[in-house]
Amino acid sequence: METKVQFNVLESIENMYKFSEDSQLRPALFETLGDDLKHLSRYLQVNEMQALLFANAFIVSFEHSRMSNVFSHFGFPDYKMVFYLQDIEVLFKKKLLLKERHFDAQRMDYLIDRKISHAITKNLNPDLIKTELTDLSQVLEEFDKYSEMYDNESITKPELDRYLFSLTDEYPNIEFFKKLDQWSLPPYEKFFLLDTIWDAISCGDNNYNTMVQKTLDDYFPSRTASISVINRLVEGNSNLIKYNLIDVLKNNYRNRIKARLSKSLVNLLKETEKLEIDFFEEENKRLIQSKSIKKKELFYNEAEISAIETLKSTLVESKFKQLQKRLDKKAMPLGITILLHGKPGTGKTESVYQLAKESGRNIFKVDISQTKSMWFGESQKLVKKIFTEYQEFKETEKKCPILLFNEADAIIGKRKEAGSSNVSDTENAIQNILLEELENFNGILFATTNLVENLDAAFERRFLYKIHFEKPSSQVAAKIWKSKLPFLSEEEAFELASKFDFSGGEMENIARKILMDEVLNNISPCFDGVMNYCKNENWTNGSVSKIGF
């Protein structure tokens, strides 16, 4: 709240300026200015020498905003400033003086903050004067006030930019600002990042609280400039994305796009500033806990059993660690990469789940269709981000988790001719990134595909194991039928296996229909009912293939 003070501030400053001329700051000056010095030092919450320096800097700023000019007014040569550097620094720390953007330590270019100037000319208490800020939260609260002042046109854009530029010098004790300098963000990105951090602190969480366009509109006087920056953010052409500082939640309407702090920035703030900000994992559907996977008995053909047993052995934690050490010792790639290929419904994905269940490894599952982003050029970035997120997930796990690329046909198929279409070029770019990531991969990766004949040759050497899943043989199919429908006799199960060339997935569909009939329609399960469903399982009448005919 603005309140009047009991003495005339501007008059005291003027007296101090007049009597200081050519005084060389002799003791007699301080005797002459006794009451004025006492009042102003209390008003500014500084000592008398600092009050005298400020008073002269205030008047000099109307012509030349340099501390060297203040000392010329005292009748001193420039070098005399050296003896008063500690007092001058206090004025900068208290924000009574602001450093010019291109600050020269010899001339000491400065500005008088507009709010201080307003308080002095109106003879009001200076609300901006405060004790030295010691942590990031306090500085961000101050930043928020500067943002409001800019919004209310109390300060200009150059003044706001100067404030953003000065943070590292003003607060050398805050490690985060040193990192901020290293990223070389332009002022509008600094503004956006600080605003996003403050949103997370003030809201108490990090759940996409920052409206991107509104924040940029707060900085830019022109909506066109805001839209241009939004486009760069969405396309990944921003330092905020390049340095993984924020996550952007996209929307079909760009004025509804939201942002939050990235997990790596949240971790950095915790490490450097002891700032605790919750990071919502958004109930990530990609993460599958091994304990949540239901145990299932799977039946394999003879050729597949050997390969699956090898994988089981590889995923035993003690053997996995031993294998990684040996690979590292021989300077070989540490990643274990497995391609499971075969027709739909042959148990590829379920095999990964059961291997994860048995080995106690959680799964980071990727839906490849999500890499086909609606934003042009985003798909490549999403693929790269998948591997970054997997590594972050891996660091939080006791056991190395499994990265599962389910139904990966779309990204490991043969490459299209370059330049044939934008879609083809995007798919080729995705494959190049995937090949690069696989080359340096450190973890466990499973990829499943139905179209191995279409596999690009460049991927063949990237997969350590390649396991082909056939439809079950008659003997294996009979076991599957018996496990799914226990009421069947051995002979009935073998008859179904001999007559119908079904995958395990198709057999499960029929078993589910039998169960639904029993629950919903009170129809007792029987062999004839199963036979009828088998005859109608495929899309076309002629598609049922009878083995042996």
Average pLDDT over residues 276-305: 82
What is the three-class DSSP state of 135? coil
Q: What is the mean pLDDT of the chain?
A: 86
Whether the Cβ atoms of residue 333 and residue 441 lie closer than 8 Å to each other: yes
pLDDT-above-90 percentage for the chain: 48
pLDDT at 202 over 80: yes
pLDDT at 548 over 60: no
Whether the Cβ atoms of residue 270 and residue 133 lie closer than 8 Å to each other: no
Say how far apart CA 365 and CA 405 lie, in whole Å.
6
Q: Higher model confidence: residue 375 or residue 482?
A: 482
Residue 198's nearest CA partner among 136, 283, 262 is: 136
Q: What is the pLDDT of residues 12-47, one digit of tens each?
A: 999 999 999 999 999 999 999 999 999 999 999 899
Tokens of 38: 């006492």
Tell me the residue type at 163. Answer: Y
Q: What is the pLDDT of residues 81-135, one digit of tens each?
A: 999 999 998 898 888 888 775 566 667 788 887 778 888 988 888 764 555 677 8
Q: What is the DSSP code string of 69-93?
A: HHHHHTT--GGGGGGGHHHHHHHHH
Say how far apart CA 44 and CA 297 lie, in whole Å.
79
Secondary structure of 467-485 in HEC code, one letter for each residue: EEECCCCHHHHHHHHHHHC
The pLDDT score that the predictor gives to residue 549 is 30
Burial class of 3 by CB neighbour count within 10 A (0 to 12, 13 to 18, 19+): exposed
Q: What is the pLDDT of residues 389-400, one digit of tens each?
A: 898 888 888 899
pLDDT category of residue 409 using cuts at 50, 70 and 90: confident
The pLDDT score that the predictor gives to residue 489 is 94
- E-strand spans in 310-449? 336-342, 363-367, 402-406, 444-449
Q: What is the pLDDT of residues 135-159, one digit of tens each?
A: 899 899 889 888 888 888 877 888 8
The pLDDT score that the predictor gives to residue 544 is 45
Partners of residue 120 on adjacent β-strands: none
Q: How far from chain centre, in Å, is Cα 386?
A: 12
pLDDT at 337 over 50: yes
The pLDDT score that the predictor gives to residue 417 is 67
pLDDT category of residue 547 using cuts at 50, 70 and 90: very low
Burial class of 26 by CB neighbour count within 10 A (0 to 12, 13 to 18, 19+): exposed
pLDDT at 254 over 60: yes
pLDDT at 543 over 70: no
Whether the Cβ atoms of residue 544 and residue 536 lie closer than 8 Å to each other: no
Say how far apart CA 116 and CA 4 lie, in whole Å.
14
